Amino acid sequence: MKYLHLAVTALFLLCAYWQLNDPDWNQWVAAYGIVAFISVRAFFGDLRPIVAALPAIALFAWWCSYIPEFAQWLSDGMPTITGSMKAESPHVELTREFFGLLICWGTLAYYVWWSWRQERLAE
């Protein structure tokens, strides 16, 4: 199970790398990078819940800012977002970013729970 944290690290570092050609790459490299950092801390066993909770709260707030665009995508009948890697229309980029942030936030939420549980078991 411990090495699963390294797999998560590798996955999020790869996602950060793939964002380097994006116009807003710095935001996404930071988002994916913080998840990679948290998973490395979990691997080494020195992750405190607050360390994962603070970026989780920030990413959740950022994710919430995409809810109107996501709702618009749903009301448009959920047109494909996987047709091509180039985002030809705004809904494609915004919906992909919505799901990317959801994945980041969900992973951080797991690490908040996991680290809290580890602290309780250590008592």
25-79 pLDDT, tens digit each? 999 999 999 999 999 999 998 899 999 999 999 999 999 999 998 998 899 888 8
Token reading at 3: 């090495």
- The pLDDT of residue 84 is 62
Q: What is the pTM of this model?
A: 0.88
Which two three-digit tokens encode residue 87?
A: 């985002």
Q: Residues 8-22: pLDDT tens digits?
A: 999 999 999 999 988
